[in-house]
Amino acid sequence: MKIQLLGTAAAEGYPAVFCKCDSCNRARELGGKDIRTRTSAIIDDFLKIDFPPDTFHHVLTHNLDLGSIEHLLFTHTHHDHFHPEDIRMRTPIFAHAIQYPLNIYGNDVVMAKCQNVLAASKESFKLHRIQPFEKVQIGDYQVTPLPADHNPMETCLLFYIEKGNKRLLYGHDTGWFPEPTWSFLEDKQLDIAILDCTNGLIQGRRNHMDIDAVKEIKAIFTDKSIINPTSKVIATHFSHNINLSHQALQNLLEPAGIEVSYDGMIIEI
């Protein structure tokens, strides 16, 4: 399984779109891995997770063949993950020589908003409502949505994704996992866990998580043999408010065996 992380920032981007704080100014000066765009990932060039407003930038930067992607999975509808207006560009007037429909998977809010925005070209899209703990088959992948603690007004989802003997937990946006999610994971074995670390050293584990929470989850995963020494744990979705460079994040997380994400990072498991 190949996972490509296209964006690794929180909602505002890092540097944030309008911000002139020290953290954002330093990111602009450093460039490289300190420039973080809004969150998305692609698995095996087949399954895309989330569609942020930076998607066109991702296509250009990473030379993505986005027209060949026929499956799009949503965690939730916060704007940094969900920009359906640009999905409209995958309709016959704007996109030629591609296969229709695009399959879109998401919670009831995703379905309602997509129905609204994509109403003029219904035949170009197939909407699949997904619910926690109801496994869906997408090509060779089994995807089990799990509840997150993120926005009480919406069923925000994490994903447990299996393909053959490879298993990925795609875990953001989330706070500390709700108990039913812990119960589900109890007897699982993960090759990779990608975890929300929005808050850095700012304490907080409701809605998003901090470094301590990510370390604690890794420790629990290890105790319960949910991960083994070869499994990868990766922290992502960083806010400019944490005021930590990529190097500073590495200094804090790598001694605990946690990798720091960056835009364009490719992980093979």
Instruction: Calculate the CA dihedral of residues 218, 222, 228, 232 and round it to 10 degrees.
Output: 0
Query: Rounded to the nearest whole angstrom, what is the least distance from the CB of residue 11 to Zn ion in the complex?
Result: 5
User: What residues from 3 to 62 belong to the interface with Zn ion (CB under 5 A)?
Assistant: 16, 19, 21, 23-24
Q: Which of 36, 58, 71, 78 binds Zn ion (CB under 5 A)?
A: 78
Query: Rounded to the nearest whole angstrom, what is the least distance from the CB of residue 137 to Zn ion in the complex?
Result: 26
Instruction: Say how many C-beta atoms besides its own lie within 10 A of residue 127's C-beta.
Output: 17
Query: Rounded to the nearest whole angstrom, what is the least distance from the CB of residue 62 to Zn ion in the complex?
Result: 20
* Nearest alpha carbon to residue 147 among 76, 80, 197: 76
CA distance 144 to 164: 14
Nearer to Zn ion by Cβ, of 77 and 144: the residue is 77
Q: Which residues contact 119 (CB under 8 A, 6 or more apart)?
A: none
Nearer to Zn ion by Cβ, of 240 and 246: the residue is 240
Nearer to Zn ion by Cβ, of 26 and 126: the residue is 26
Q: How many residues bind Zn ion (CB under 5 A)?
A: 9
Residue with tokens 């304490």: 203
Angle made by CA atoms 131, 137, 143, in degrees to the nearest 5: 55
* CA distance to 17, 21, 41, 154, 255, per residue, from 51 (Å): 18, 27, 9, 17, 32
Nearer to Zn ion by Cβ, of 208 and 215: the residue is 208
* CA distance to 105, 170, 182, per residue, from 74 (Å): 6, 11, 21
Contact letters for Zn ion, residues 118-157 (x by CB under 5 A): ----------------------------------------
Strand order in the sheet with 157-163: 136-138, 141-147, 157-163, 166-171, 192-196, 232-236, 259-260
* Nearest alpha carbon to residue 173 among 222, 136, 209: 209
Q: Which of 34, 173, 259, 263 binds Zn ion (CB under 5 A)?
A: 173
Residue with tokens 């005021």: 243
Query: Rounded to the nearest whole angstrom, what is the least distance from the CB of residue 43 to Zn ion in the complex?
Result: 18
* Binding of Zn ion by 64 (CB under 5 A): no
Q: Which of 34, 50, 70, 80 binds Zn ion (CB under 5 A)?
A: 80
Nearer to Zn ion by Cβ, of 70 and 173: the residue is 173
* Binding of Zn ion by 240 (CB under 5 A): yes
Query: Rounded to the nearest whole angstrom, what is the least distance from the CB of residue 89 to Zn ion in the complex?
Result: 22
Query: Rounded to the nearest whole angstrom, what is the least distance from the CB of residue 18 to Zn ion in the complex?
Result: 9
- Would you tell me which residues interact with Zn ion (CB under 5 A)? 16, 19, 21, 23-24, 78, 80, 173, 240
